[in-house]
Amino acid sequence: MPPERRVSIVVPALNEERVIGRCLEALTRQDFPKEAYEVVLVDNGSADRTLEIARQFSATLNLSILSKTDARISGLRNFGVSRSRGEILAFLDADCVAPPGWLKTATGLLAGEKVGAAGAHYKIPDDSTWVGRTWFGGAELERQGDVDWIPAGDMLLARATFERLGGFDESISTNEDCELCERVRAAGLRVVGDAAAAVVHLGTPQTLGHFYRKVRWHATDGLRVFVRGLPKITNPRPLLLAAYTLLCAAGFVVAAAAAVRSGAWGAPLGFLIALPAPALLLGLRAAAKRGRWSDLGAWIVLFFVYGLARAHALVRVVRRRDSR
């Protein structure tokens, strides 16, 4: 890529003092002409040392620091694009660390035939716990080639494509990357992932509590994105699992209340047994697929927590709609 064809790296941030230094330091080490890329940091009103740390890289990066408060992450990214100059847009999250060859590899992917979006699923930190290793480990290797979506924390598009599609949807808080990738594919373009373009996600959930909150948060607007895609159904499984989990939990509560009066505990016991059944089946499938039976227990626990989190998110969506 000649230097005159600049790449704009857009980094949204909010209270990222623990990670922003590592993110920007990695961008100074890119195997890419320094004059050929800029970094646009869009801050959402950080109250910690995020901006102080970021300013330290003004001498080593073509860095612009912008402010846009009270915005969803989609709005931060779109605002960064509006103030950038590159013909290619690279989106990187503040808690992601890019390897030296990231820009060269990712821009090369974007040059492929009919490629509309390119990037990779995340790598996990080397010191990840069993939660991070089991659920997220190896995602960048398993999801390569033509894929349904890639995370917005490691995504590249041509500016012309991004603007033609209208950018990220600012009406949703989560799933904005999946939603944009759906529009890319609907436009007849490819979404391509390659492990060589993967970045390390420092924000990978490492505890069950963090995993639960992350899944619940991601599912917040998942139903809206799913409904928008109808009648074409791309991935109904998370929604079905959430509905099943919710049905079993509600059934247990109702049956247990009735059993207190009648003394017949068969029905609540049946719901209680049925509740973790999908987690058991999905755990067996995952362990068999990866050939790591030692991880079976971890998979069962994680799928069970995943189903609970998705069900919780579904309840929150329904309540939010009822309150309008």
pLDDT, one tens digit per residue, over 19-50 is: 999 999 999 999 999 999 999 999 999 999 99
Which segments of 137-236 does DSSP mark as H helices, in order?
A: 139-142, 159-165, 176-186, 208-218, 222-228
Measured distance CA(235)–CA(222) in Å, rounded:
11
Residue 304: partners with Cβ closer than 8 Å, 6 or more residues away = 276, 279
Q: Give dist(CA 220, CA 77) in Å, integer.
A: 19
* Closest by CA position to 306, among listed 176, 225, 177, 205: 205
**How much is the pLDDT for 239?**
87
Q: Give the CATH architecture of domain 7-204.
A: Alpha-Beta Complex (3.90)
**Contact criterion met (CB below 8 Å) for 152 and 168:** yes
For 66-78, write each residue's pLDDT tens digit.
999 999 999 999 9
132-169: pLDDT as tens digits: 999 999 999 999 999 999 999 999 999 999 999 999 99
Residue ranges, the chain, pLDDT below 50: 1-2
- Computed from CA positions of residues 314, 119, 152, 200, in that sequence, does the dihedral angle turn out positive or negative? positive
Structure tokens given for 143: 């999801």
User: In terms of DSSP bridges, do strands 7-13 and 115-119 run parallel, antiparallel, or are they unpaired?
Assistant: unpaired
Domain locations along the chain: 7-204, 237-322
Residue 142, Cα to own-chain centre: how many angstroms? 16
Cα dihedral sign, 80-84-23-195: positive
